[in-house]
Chain A
Amino acid sequence: MKPRHKRFMFILVGIAILGTAVGLVLYALQNNVSLYFTPTQVYNKEAPQGRNFRIGGLVVDGSLKRERDGLTVRFDVTDTLKTMQVNYKGILPDLFKEGKGVVAHGQLQADNTFLADEVLAKHDENYNAAEVVHALELANQAQSGVMATKPVSSGYQIPSTK
């Protein structure tokens, strides 16, 4: 074996061992590397007890309720298996929307609701033109027959004169 073959094997074997070691470490630390826990994990008591952590999932459609002060909000987070109620007082990020992803930092309360001190919106990987999405919505409405009763407009509604 020439010296350069030796060095090549040395590097190859070295990377393989290192890769395996790093892989095992990351596998062992899986829960620590993940940014948030899902409601199912919280339900199974895999989330840390008695200290702050993050939960993540989708905001359930129609679950967002605002208190009268305009700052305190309540919504449900789901991973489609389990659902958790989140209470939060503060400003929600722009991308926060029902049916979209969310990550909330805070503490689990005795009544199994989650009191958040920070709410972050999780964006998905889809990018589309605003006009295209609008056109798709119109097409969907037309298909489901809603369009028949509504005038074609760009969101502007003629005030009723009754």
Chain B
Amino acid sequence: MAINWFKYAAPSSFYGLAGKLVPWFAWPAAILFCVGIYIGFFVAPTDAVQSEAYRIIFIHVPASILSMFIYLIMAGYAALGLIFNTRLSSMMATSLAPTGALFAFISLWTGALWGKPMWGAWWVWDARLTSELILLFLYLGFISLQASIEDPRRADRAGALLAIVGSVNVPIIYFSVKWWNTLHQGSTVKLSGTSMHISMQQAMFTMFAALWLYAIAISLLRVRSIILERERNSQWVTEIVEMKQ
């Protein structure tokens, strides 16, 4: 049985596939989000040291992990687009950027809200916080660089270079708490085990799954708009528009 792997690399066929996939990610995301919020607020116990304020980790940690992970995926797509000249890969990179920027912002914002009562400061220039801020700027730089170049193919190439160069920052964020003295604590979730109460873990991982599915759903939705916008002069888009009218 021969599978044509490149069938869905064509924007015209991926447009339909993405449309069919969106509800399969969006609904589980919404359900898991509600479940995660419920466990986080009503099942997970009060923390011994931080009392209720710790509950911000249920959004802070998943958003932070995803902001780094999405950047690597985005850089990977951008690199694919640069190497193989595939249009869809570059479009995927473009569609992932706003979601990644949103998660980076949520991570910094919730961290500041938690930092004031716990550390005693909204913000310190420690390695973890600063490198995460750089990540947010990389996302914003990627978005604005692409937006500032008229020709989409040239915008893709310029953005891809920025995304690939910026990916050096991701391991720095991740290992910053190990390499340097930081105010930010080390990782709670480690390969060797998680130093956290079991129902706190359940809430955190449920929220992580929910945000992940949300990110997939929203970027598929966004890539459909990007495909339509870029292929507006092609035969198949005109046919879709005519069908809708």
Contacts A94-B118, A119-B120, A130-B46 given: A8-B168 contact, CB under 8 Å? no
User: A129–B120 Cα gap in the complex (Å)?
Assistant: 23
Binds B, one of A10-18, A58-66, A148-156: A10-18
Which chain A residues numbered 100 to 147 have a C-beta less than 8 Å away from chain B?
A: 103, 118-134
- Interface-central residue, B48, B118, B200, by most chain A CB under 10 Å: B48
Q: Which residue of B has the minimal Cβ distance to A56?
A: B181
Which of A1-41 touch B at CB < 8 Å?
Answer: 4, 7-8, 11, 14-15, 18-19, 22, 26, 30, 33-38
> Considering the chains assembled together, what is the distance between the CA atoms of A11 and B127 in angstroms?
27
Report if A95 contacts B (CB, 8 A): yes
Q: Is the CB of B180 within 8 A of A33?
A: yes
Min C-beta distance of B114 to chain A, whole Å: 9
Chain B residues near A (Cβ < 8 Å): 45-51, 54, 57, 79, 82-85, 117-121, 124-127, 164-165, 167-168, 172, 179-183, 185-188, 195-197, 200
Contact pick for B83, options A7, A15, A38, A103, CB 8 Å:
A7
> Which of B127, B168, B183 has the largest number of chain A CB atoms within 10 A?
B183
The reply to whether A36 and B185 form a contact with Cβ atoms under 8 Å apart is no
Instruction: Indicate which residue in A8, A18, A22, A130 contacts B47 across the interface (CB closer than 8 Å).
Output: A130
If A11-B164, A14-B164, A126-B196 touch, does A4 touch B85 (CB 8 Å cutoff)?
yes
Residues of B within 8 A of A95 (CB): 49-50, 118-119
Q: A11-B79, A118-B121, A122-B185 are in contact. List 8 more A-B contacts (CB 8 A).
A: A35-B124, A35-B182, A93-B117, A95-B118, A96-B120, A125-B186, A125-B195, A127-B195
- Judging by beta carbons under 8 Å apart, are A123 and B195 in contact? no
20 pairs, CB–CB < 8 Å, chain A vs chain B: A11-B164, A14-B164, A14-B165, A15-B168, A19-B168, A22-B172, A26-B172, A33-B127, A35-B125, A35-B183, A37-B181, A93-B117, A95-B118, A95-B119, A120-B119, A122-B119, A123-B50, A127-B197, A128-B48, A129-B46
DSSP class of B's interface residues: helix, strand, loop or mixed? loop
Interface residues in chain A, defined as those with a beta carbon under 8 Å from any beta carbon in chain B: 4, 7-8, 11, 14-15, 18-19, 22, 26, 30, 33-38, 56, 92-97, 103, 118-134
Task: Tell me how many residue pairs across A and B have CB atoms closer than 8 Å.
Answer: 118
User: How long is the Cα–Cα vector from A127 to B168 in the complex, in angstroms?
Assistant: 31
> For residue B187, which residues in chain A have a CB less than 8 angstroms away from its CB?
125
Question: Do B119 and A93 have beta carbons less than 8 Å apart?
Answer: yes
Which of B45, B82, B121, B195 contacts A129, CB < 8 Å?
B45
Complex Cα distance, B117 from A14, in Å, reads 43
Assuming the A-B contacts A35-B183, A94-B118, are A130 and B188 also in contact, with contact meaning beta carbons closer than 8 angstroms in the complex? no
Contact yes or no, A93 B124, CB < 8 A: no
Q: Are B127 and A8 in contact (CB under 8 A)?
A: no
A-side contacts of B125, CB under 8 Å: 35
- Chain B residues whose C-beta falls within 8 Å of the C-beta of A4 in the assembled complex: 83-85
**B82 adjacent to A11 (CB under 8 Å):** yes
